[in-house]
Each structure stands twice: as C-alpha cells, then as structure tokens.
A and B are shown apart, each in its own frame.
Chain A
C-alpha cells in the first residue's frame, strides 16, 4: 500500500515532510512542532469543512491546499514509510 506524503522543500537541501500511513492510520513527520499546530486546530478545506487528523487523506489534502495557498512549494510524494534502507530519503517513488 502506498502512502501519501506532503513535502515542503526548504532552502539548501532540507525539507519538511508529513506522511499518512494508511495501514495504521497514523502520521509520520519530521517537524512535530509544526504539524502538531495543525493537528490541534485542524485545517479548513475548500468546501468549508474543518479537517482533523482522524480524517486521514482528507486532512492531508486540506493541509496541501493550506500550504499551497500560503505560498509554499508543497508537493505530493508517494511511497513507503521510513525504516526503509535509506533513512535519509525514505520516500521511494
């Protein structure tokens, strides 16, 4: 099962990433402080619904829209979770 991941590149090779593990319905990220902010207050989607982490894919989609509308160069990545052979690049396409 492939898992959706949001990736916001930062200057000089760094990135903020959040992946939704569909199997366990949990999130994995590398910037907990940032995502916890969104987890706590939820994210409004285009249809006016506030999406919470328990909404899974819908939450991630709403977060993509929020980041995109706020000017971040956010991209989707699809792949397995970390714990793979290459921990520095866990999202193999």
Chain B
C-alpha cells in the first residue's frame, strides 16, 4: 500500500495507509495516547491496527499504529511518522524511518538525527515535549501532546479526536500539542489522513476482549434477536454487557511451565483455554504431543474470537488457543457484520449437531490462496499469515506464480493438508514467526518435506518485505546466500 497523502486522493481499490509510531515515553502515557488515537480513527471511519511493544526495539517502549482505508492484515513495514518523546534519539534507526518519513522530537538539530544513523531525507519537526509537558503541570502527558500534534499535522478534524482523550484531565495536554502544531509547525511533509465519504460500522477490539467474548459465548443464552440488537445498537454496548457476563464464568489460570509473560484464561467448562504471551506456539505443541489436546493458532483479532467460540464444539479434553507474540497487545478494527456472522455461526451450531460437524470440518480447515500449481508455496501459522497475505498480493501484481496455505490447527499436526499443498507447489517455504525455526522442525518431524525458511530480522516482527524481497527460490534450493544479491555468471542459464 502507498501512504496517505494530502495531495493525492486515496483510492479504496488501491488501498492507502499510514504507519505512525509513538516511542520513548512512559508505557502508561503511550497507552493513553494509543487509546485516544485508535478510537478517534475508528470513529472517523478508517481501519486501524495498533500494537504496543515494551521489550524489543532496544527496550524503548513504543506504540505502532497502522491506519488504512482497506482492511488491515498486518502491522506493515517501515514508518511514515515517528513521534519520539524521549530526550535523546536512539542509534541505528530502530523504528525503520525512510526517506521522507516525518520525525517529531525534542532535539532540534538535523545533525543529531544524522549522527544516530537515520537516513537522509527524514523531515524533522522540533517539538519541546518536556517544556509543553511541564507547562501543563505533569510529567506523563507527552503521549497526549503527541496526539494533539499529530491531529493537526495529519489534518484530522480536532472535534473527532479530542472527545476520545481519557481521562478528561488530559484535554489540556492534547490542546497544548494541537496549539503548538498550529502556531509553530509549518507543514513540510505530504502526509494527511483522508475523511472517508461513507462510514461503515466497525468495532475496535483488542486480543484480550476478543478472547474473553469468545470464551463467554460458551455459556451465553443469546438468540438471533440479540445479534440483531448488536447490529442496531452501538456495538460497544453489546460488547460491554457480554464482557461483564463472560467475566462471571471464565477464570484466569496459571500453568507451572509458562514463562512470566504468559497468561491463561479458561472457559466456563474448563476445556477451552486461551494462552496469551507465549513467544512460540510450537512450545505448546511439544508439551501437548503425547496428550489428546488440540492447539489452534488464530491469525488476527477476529480470528481469536471465531476460533475460541468454535473450539467448544471439538470433542477434546484440552483445547488451547495459542495467541502468538505477533498479536500480543494488539487491537484492530473489525467489521460489525463479520463479527455478527461469527456469533450467528456459533448460535446456530448450538442447536444443530450436523451444523457443528460441518463448522468443525470447514471452519478449521486450512485456507489456500493463490495459483495452483504454483512456483512458490508459503505456509504460515498465526499472526504471520497477515504479512503473507500482503506479500502474495504484491507478488501476484507483478505476475508471479505464488500460493499460500494458512492452517488454523497446529496440533494435531495437519500433515495431510500440508503434503497435499506441497504437491501443488514447486518449492515450499515456511514463514517462521521468529528466528528459532521451530515450525520447520515440526514439519520435518511430521512429514518427509524439506521446506525453505523465511525469518524476520533480529528484534523485529516479520513483514511483507521480508517475504517479497526474500531470495533463493524457487530454483536455487538450500544454497546459503552470502549477500543480498544474486549473480549468474553463465548467460546460457537464462536461455529458455
């Protein structure tokens, strides 16, 4: 997708987006800013995906927001606008700024950003965050000041964004940022958020809410009328009432082997458990391998809700919904109609055993996308599926012959599905969510296949460029590359 600009009309069919990052402040301050920004953008009628990250990126807390006029399936690559709230810019361009990115920061000299390794062409705005913050009377309002600045800079109507600032005592910080941008920042960049003509109804959901609502549906006595109410009333009211009911029946549990970052939420009948914060879902598969358990791996926030609500129809003792690191602290806009479809699906299945069977056979089946047969076939579990979907779209635009398989079930391992897919592609490529390579090992242990692998860069999440610009397939197999480019010396190799 190309970025939103104020001088080119955004086109729904092409899709445009903007990647904004806030970094360097306190986590609480950044969270306040994130909530205001994501709610304002949702209200404006655009799609948004947001993710907070605290541990990677050189231990600098950050919030990444991707705003688009088309459905968002991943957090994208690069960074268009960075508001850095800390006193000193980190070295090495950890936020992925590129030529013509916008940087809002305290340090006022261009040499400061050049000396820390930011690329040429970054557009700088000097913002005295600390001074503005002190003038408002606190030390934790930089995030909301940044929201005010970005509202003005990206030409978002102030009356759309300001009501979402929470608590209301934060209004003065928002106003300080907006006022500073109006008075002192002369716009030098091209970015601007469009005001959509039509507003479709959508919900802003985070992973925890999605899991809670999915687990709570197990005990819900709602009917068709309830779904209709969801579609007619503001969806947030329905969500709040059902989340309250769900909290009465679900219970947080702790597993002795889990890392400290992981948390579990168990459904009312104790056989469906959502696991959040496990760095690698294959670890769960290794522990489940001898038991009769099932591990489902959702791809996005809506998928968390859908798989959790479907899981109760599986006749297994232990069903785990493994939410991988790519979805941790993530929220997304979800079309209300698609959310309602998921609720209807499970309500109808509640009353009809045959429907349950078909839901389980169809609903948990791996999805296939792309050409058949194909030169390259990607296989991805969990949140990496979003980046693969985008990469497949880009490859197809260039006329490449590619396909992808998106399994929902990690364990029992879907060996038959995978082998059937591999038979239709010349080269199978596993898209790993991290650099451990466990998915490939799992595949090699369960099938005779020898796939290639794609890894994310160290300390970053996988994005579509990692996949699109990956080399080594389809014909050059298992040859480690020493540099980024490929040289073919023998011209006869290129002859048909």
Contacts and interface: CB of A to CB of B under 8 A. Distances in A.
A68 to B, nearest CB: 13
Contacts of A70: 399
Interface residues of B, number: 44
A41 B474 CA distance: 15
A39 B119 contact: no
Nearest to B3: A11
B489 A14 contact: no
Interface in B53-84: 77-80
B398 A34 contact: yes
Nearest to A40: B496
Nearest to B394: A10
Interface in A21-72: 21, 24-34, 36-37, 39-40, 42, 52-54, 70
Contacts of A16: 398, 469
Contact of A33 (B77, B99, B400): B400
B485 interface: yes
Contact of B119 (A13, A33, A42, A52): A13
23 contacts: A10-B394, A12-B19, A12-B96, A14-B469, A16-B469, A26-B487, A26-B491, A28-B485, A28-B486, A29-B486, A30-B471, A31-B468, A32-B473, A33-B400, A33-B402, A33-B470, A36-B375, A37-B401, A39-B494, A40-B496, A54-B492, A54-B494, A82-B483
Given A11-B2, A13-B98, A37-B399, A30 B491 contact: no
A30 B494 contact: no
A26 B475 CA distance: 17
A12 B473 CA distance: 24
Interface of B: 1-3, 19, 77-80, 96, 98-99, 119, 375-376, 394-395, 398-402, 465, 468-476, 483-492, 494-496
Given A26-B491, A40-B496, A53-B494, A33 B376 contact: yes
Nearest to B2: A11
A24 B474 CA distance: 24
A31 B1 CA distance: 19
B357 to A, nearest CB: 40
B400 A37 contact: yes
Contacts of A54: 491-492, 494-495
Contacts of B474: 33, 36
Contacts of B80: 12
A11 B376 contact: no
Contacts of A11: 1-3, 78
B422 to A, nearest CB: 17
B495 A33 contact: no
Contact of B471 (A13, A24, A27, A33): A33
Contacts of B476: 32
Given A14-B469, A53-B494, A34 B485 contact: no
Contacts of A29: 485-486
B44 to A, nearest CB: 22
Nearest to B97: A13
Nearest to A37: B400
B476 to A, nearest CB: 7
Nearest to A42: B496
A53 B486 contact: no
A28 to B, nearest CB: 5
